[in-house]
Amino acid sequence: MRIRTFRKLCRDAIQNISRNRVMSLASIIAVMSALFILGAILVLAFNLNHIAGGIESKIEITAFLDPSVDNPKAEAIVEELKRLDGVYEIEYISKEEGLAEWKRDLGDKGDLLDGYMGQANPLPDKLILNIENPEYVEDIIMKLDAMPRVDKVNYSKEVVDTIGRVANIIRTAGLIMVILLVILAMIIINNTIRMTVYSRRREINIMKYIGATDSYIRWPFILEGLILGLVAALFAGGLVFGGYILLLNKSGTMFGGSSLLNLFRLLPVEAVMYDIGLVFLLVGTGVGVIASALSVRKHLRV
């Protein structure tokens, strides 16, 4: 195709959009609404996934070290354990710290432990391993059990299993919603574009009769689909992100500094923006273009 021709086709596409203002606007609003709903669900799904990850990261394994292990050796063990898959944080609590903590927990009755200070401290040093997600737990337990300097390993299988299950349910629910909404958005966009093309089937027919080639007829419609999809995606993106920023501001003041609720803190807007923006562009313009091409083809058979 010559550049001159392509320029004309682009001009035709833009002219068609502006001269079919009402239909164009209706299409943009319909596509934008579909994308907006999809975006809202995506934001929800991303946050659910984040929450599921947060719940999973609450899995802890406590390893008590052999009393013979001194400080430098303990550090070597920490280094070794850090290399294990799935371990993202290790907290080393020396027996002194352990005792102090215990004392604090006892409050007024803390004096009872006074006799155990120093050499008399019966507590072992301990390591608290934070695990990324439940599937690593068994392996890590096995490795800990095999380590001669680790005396005892503590964890709750039930808690680990429950956390794994809850996280999976949350993720699956999010994924199903997203898939359904993507399909729904595609159907809505497809129908909208087909309608705009259908309303101009006569025009397509006329072009055929005066000898326009199929591709000459098709291109302005494809470009129109692209432009309508793009504009709708931009508006939908603005609405979703604007809405999300508002929600973030509200939720920030709502949760305050509570650490438990930190788990349910919303993701920052940067964390969701790029993925959702990409989905909007792909779904909006992709479906716009494909739907245009397919529905024009149907009317080209003359």
Binding residues for other proteins, rule: CB under 8 A, are 2, 4-5, 8, 15-16, 19-20, 202-203, 205-214, 216, 302
Sheet holding 150-154, edge to edge: 87-93, 126-131, 60-65, 150-154
Please tell me the distance from the alpha carbon of residue 17 to that of residue 25, in angstroms, as a whole number. Answer: 9
CB atoms within 10 A of CB 5: 12
Write down the least CB distance from residue 272 to other proteins, Å.
40
Write down the least CB distance from residue 223 to other proteins, Å.
15
Write down the least CB distance from residue 292 to other proteins, Å.
16
Q: Which two tokens stand for residue 183?
A: 């399909």
Write down the least CB distance from residue 295 to other proteins, Å.
18
Write down the least CB distance from residue 34 to other proteins, Å.
26
Q: Which two tokens stand for residue 28?
A: 């943009």
- Give the Å distances, CA to CA, from 138 to 142, 168, 191, 204, 256: 6, 18, 51, 65, 36
- Give the Å distances, CA to CA, from 62 to 87, 141, 142, 155: 12, 10, 13, 6
With residue 220 as reference, give the H or E element that holds it.
helix 214-255
The residue (of 24 and 285) whose beta carbon lies closer to other proteins is: 24
The residue (of 8 and 143) whose beta carbon lies closer to other proteins is: 8
The residue (of 87 and 223) whose beta carbon lies closer to other proteins is: 223
Write down the least CB distance from residue 85 to other proteins, Å.
60
The residue (of 34 and 207) whose beta carbon lies closer to other proteins is: 207
The residue (of 174 and 225) whose beta carbon lies closer to other proteins is: 225
Please tell me the distance from the alpha carbon of residue 218 to that of residue 296, in angstroms, as a whole number. Answer: 6
Write down the least CB distance from residue 209 to other proteins, Å.
6
The gap from C-alpha 221 to its chain's centroid, in whole angstroms, comes to 34
Write down the least CB distance from residue 210 to other proteins, Å.
5
DSSP state of 283: I
Q: Give me the DSSP letters along 3-45.
A: HHHHHHHHHHHHHHHHHTHHHHHHHHHHHHHHHHHHHHHHHHH
The residue (of 93 and 212) whose beta carbon lies closer to other proteins is: 212
Name the residue among 170, 126, 134 with its Cα closest to residue 152. 126
87: which strand partners?
131
The residue (of 210 and 260) whose beta carbon lies closer to other proteins is: 210
The residue (of 102 and 216) whose beta carbon lies closer to other proteins is: 216
